[in-house]
Amino acid sequence: MSDQNDLLSTDIEAYLHQHEQKSLLRFITCGSVDDGKSTLIGRLLYDSRMIFEDQLAALEADSRKMGTQGQNIDFALLVDGLAAEREQGITIDVAYRFFATEKRKFIVADTPGHEQYTRNMVTGASTADLAVILIDARRGVLTQTRRHSFLASLVGIRNIVLAINKMDLVDYSEDVFNSIIQEYKSFASGLSFESIVPIPMSALAGDNILTKSDQTPWYKGPTLMHHLEVVPTHDSDRSASFRMPVQWVNRPNLDFRGFSGLISAGSVKPGDRIRVMPSGRESHVSRVFLDGDMEFGIAGQSVTICLADEIDCSRGDVLTGIDDPIEVSDQFEVTLVWMNDAAMQPGRSYLLKLGAKTVTATVTALKHKVNVNTLEQTTAEHLELNEIGVCTLSLSQPVAFDSYEKNRETGGFILIDRFTNDTLAAGMIRSALRRAQNIHWQSIDIDRTARARQKNQKPFVLWFTGLSGSGKSTIANLVERKLFELGKHSTTLDGDNIRHQLNKDLGFSDADRVENVRRVAEVSRLMTDAGLIVLASFISPFRAERQMARELLPSGEFLEVFVDTPLGVAETRDPKGLYKKARAGQIENFTGISSPYEAPENPEIRIDTTSLSPEEAAGTIITELEKRGLLRID
């Protein structure tokens, strides 16, 4: 450090020039508080002069008050951020720290080590080039070491530092060090790391952190800091094929139309031929621009690209090179890391954000989940918080993608809950399903418009939702009679009947309810394709599934009819005696009693059965259909 300080005081301009050329390394530290992780980070910050005197004074005071190192500085206190964490002595989130040497700037993601924080570790690792995995030399390779290594490998980290810490407590024994390496390597050979660099150290005493330790004369490798300064970064292969997701169409005036984004792979220069995906349209690059024209752009840069032709391209499209075009599909096999308290249900639809594109996605199957400690694969019905599984996904439209292994930015996605808006999962695309690549739509001469025209009507779905006993089927029956009298062609799908036939394999668990509604929604769509008016009466208690049904149909053709009957009233009616049984505990998962009903927020039609008779309700619905132009009464 001292050469650097000399330069700082003698020739500041030279110093600044040197520092301007620094590269950036992002890494993650994995391990628990007991392994000395916070102490290690605290020391890296301290030794690279990132702690100022006033912070140091506060640290010394805190060390005496709360520290665990007697009169010595407790480096761990420097990095445990939130007040609650400091009191409990644990790290519960991802914190980002910064330090720099003369060669590099470093961003450290500091994440907690316990299994219940798997999601935090995955979050921290998603942007990291390298992982420092801490091992307590006295305890060797533990279950958590395996878990951290698996997660690092899963998220695509290729460089590992095995920080064998607390060497001072095993008398700096070379044998201990070697046996830990051996055990680790035999385990890690199944993971996809390019390099594993073991370093014997003591974070507390500072051995082999910045300077080589006198205590480990047998160790010939680099110090931690030296290795961090020279390890290659994720900063990409320039010869890779060009990829840039379009974030923003920049059109400030009629003379300029550019496509802005962050280049995720390869390079681009004026004259390059490119393709807009998924449409496949081709053009060539006329300008690469930021606040002025650039000779070229490379991965990691945010730029704006102008094309020679006026072709269609918008946010969510991907600009790619023509030599190695990106794949396009709407069905994938993916790995999901589930990050939410509400479990993942196959069949439910979520929002998927990949690059700048957001689409609807349904988990069609959960193939297996992976035990993060043993890597064992087991079958499962759901994924709970912090669980990892391999699933198949079906998207509402085809998207351009690479496998995650090939490109993190065009192969990594998040799932979002459409109602709570929470980020639910991190996803990594493994491959497109062959099915999607090979099955093409059979084009048909007589289409849905032609079929509807022949029947002189507009097809639509009236989706009656409400509690058991609310009057859905009664009202639907009356509406269909009126439609029949008007000469309309219709059909009824009734919850009870369908469960005797098409869906007789399904029960009443949350997962089965989701599948029940999915099938009914698909059947409804086929019926409307045939030109029919569909009356579907299903309790359909979950908003997510009703939304899924809505999205399967062209907009305006799905009308949600909320048959609004208070639970008390429905229970008094109890036409099938079901509430009584449910109250007696004879029926599990009964909506309203032991399973929730999520009332519609904005139904097209709401029927208050406490103030309308079934006849009046049917009349209201017919009037509403006329008003919406769905029903022409000649």
Partner 1 sequence: MSNITETILTAPDLTHLQRLEAESIHIMREVAAEAERPVMLYSIGKDSAVMLHLAMKAFAPGKPPFPLLHVNTTWKFREMIDFRDRRVKELGLELLEWINKDGVQRGINPFDHGGAYTDIMKTESLKAALDHYQFDVAFGGARRDEEKSRAKERIFSFRNPGHRWDPKNQRPELWNLYNTRKNKGETIRVFPLSNWTELDIWQYIYKESIPIVPLYYAAQRPTVEYNGMTVMVDDDRMRIPEGQTPQTRSIRFRTLGCYPLTGAVESQANTLPEIIQEMLLTTTSERQGRAIDKDSAASMEKKKQEGYF
Q: What is the DSSP letter of 577?
A: S
Token pair of 345, please? 């249900």
Token pair of 597, please? 């009903």
What is the smallest separation between the CB atom of 81 and partner 1, expressed in angstroms? 4
Q: Which of 63, 202, 329, 540 is catalytic?
A: 540
Among 2, 3, 53, 214, binds partner 1 (CB under 8 A): 53
Q: Which residue has the tokens 């024994």?
A: 173
Among 165, 213, 260, 524, binds partner 1 (CB under 8 A): 260
Among 210, 262, 486, 612, binds partner 1 (CB under 8 A): 262
CB nearer to partner 1: pick between 127 and 403: 127
CA-closest candidate to residue 275, choices 219, 313, 221, 228: 313
Establish if 341 lies at the interface with partner 1 (CB under 8 A). Answer: no
- Quickly list H helices, 103-205: 118-125, 143-154, 174-188
Report the Cα 367 to chain-centroid distance in Å.
18
What is the smallest separation between the CB atom of 516 and partner 1, expressed in angstroms? 28
Establish if 250 lies at the interface with partner 1 (CB under 8 A). Answer: yes
Options 17-25, 273-281, 441-449, 518-526: segment touching partner 1 (CB under 8 A): 17-25
CB nearer to partner 1: pick between 245 and 471: 245
CA-closest candidate to residue 259, choices 290, 311, 296, 305: 305
Establish if 491 lies at the interface with partner 1 (CB under 8 A). Answer: no
Q: Write the CA distances from 90 to 68, 80, 153, 624, integer angstroms.
A: 13, 7, 25, 59
Establish if 281 lies at the interface with partner 1 (CB under 8 A). Answer: no
Establish if 100 lies at the interface with partner 1 (CB under 8 A). Answer: yes
Q: Is residue 171 exposed (0-12), middle (13-18) or buried (19+ Cβ within 10 Å)?
A: exposed
Among 2, 21, 379, 443, binds partner 1 (CB under 8 A): 21
CB nearer to partner 1: pick between 304 and 591: 304
Establish if 247 lies at the interface with partner 1 (CB under 8 A). Answer: yes
Q: Beta 267-268 vs 423-432: how paired, if at all? A: unpaired
User: Reduced to 3 states, what is the DSSP secondary structure of residue 465?
Assistant: strand
Token pair of 624, please? 């509403």
Establish if 2 lies at the interface with partner 1 (CB under 8 A). Answer: no
CB nearer to partner 1: pick between 354 and 570: 354
CB nearer to partner 1: pick between 172 and 289: 289
Establish if 159 lies at the interface with partner 1 (CB under 8 A). Answer: no
Among 75, 177, 184, 413, binds partner 1 (CB under 8 A): 413
Non-local CB neighbours of 30 within 8 Å, separated by 6+ positions: 37, 111, 113, 121, 131, 132, 133, 134, 148, 151, 152
Establish if 381 lies at the interface with partner 1 (CB under 8 A). Answer: no
Buried b (16+ CB within 10 A) or exposed e, 195-206: ebbbbbbbbbee
CA-closest candidate to residue 24, choices 228, 226, 162, 290: 228
Whole-angstrom Cα distance, residue 394 to residue 243? 24
What is the smallest separation between the CB atom of 239 and partner 1, expressed in angstroms? 6
CB nearer to partner 1: pick between 93 and 616: 93
CA-closest candidate to residue 551, choices 518, 529, 514, 527: 518
Q: Is residue 233 exposed (0-12), middle (13-18) or buried (19+ Cβ within 10 Å)?
A: middle
CB nearer to partner 1: pick between 38 and 474: 38
Task: Pick out residues in 309-328 that bind partner 1 (CB under 8 A).
Answer: 315
CB nearer to partner 1: pick between 386 and 457: 386
Q: Please compute Rg for the chain using Cα positions.
A: 31
Among 409, 480, 545, 560, binds partner 1 (CB under 8 A): 409
CB nearer to partner 1: pick between 349 and 565: 349
CB nearer to partner 1: pick between 83 and 446: 83
Task: Pick out residues in 176-235 that bind partner 1 (CB under 8 A).
Answer: 233, 235
What is the smallest separation between the CB atom of 41 and partner 1, expressed in angstroms? 11
Number of residues that bind partner 1 (CB under 8 A): 86
Establish if 284 lies at the interface with partner 1 (CB under 8 A). Answer: no
Options 292-300, 392-400, 430-438, 492-500: segment touching partner 1 (CB under 8 A): 292-300
Among 2, 3, 52, 610, binds partner 1 (CB under 8 A): 52
Could you give the string, one character per residue 112-151, with x where binding to partner 1 holds by CB under 8 A and - elsewhere?
Answer: -------xx-xx--xx------------------------
Establish if 339 lies at the interface with partner 1 (CB under 8 A). Answer: yes
Establish if 105 lies at the interface with partner 1 (CB under 8 A). Answer: yes
Establish if 430 lies at the interface with partner 1 (CB under 8 A). Answer: no
What is the smallest separation between the CB atom of 44 and partner 1, expressed in angstroms? 14
Establish if 64 lies at the interface with partner 1 (CB under 8 A). Answer: no
Q: Which residue has the tokens 């912070």?
A: 55
Q: What angle do CA 533, 634, 622 make, to 5 degrees?
A: 45
Q: End-to-end alpha-carbon separation of the chain, Å?
A: 90
Non-local CB neighbours of 496 within 8 Å, separated by 6+ positions: 473
**Are the CB atoms for 563 and 609 separated by under 8 Å?**
yes
Q: Is residue 296 exposed (0-12), middle (13-18) or buried (19+ Cβ within 10 Å)?
A: middle
Catalytic site includes residue 264: no
- What sign does the CA torsion over 428, 431, 434, 439 have? positive
Task: Pick out residues in 80-99 that bind partner 1 (CB under 8 A).
Answer: 80-84, 86, 92-98
CB nearer to partner 1: pick between 94 and 188: 94
Options 242-250, 455-463, 471-479, 498-506: segment touching partner 1 (CB under 8 A): 242-250
Options 262-270, 455-463, 473-481, 538-546: segment touching partner 1 (CB under 8 A): 262-270
Establish if 24 lies at the interface with partner 1 (CB under 8 A). Answer: yes
Catalytic annotation, residues: 540
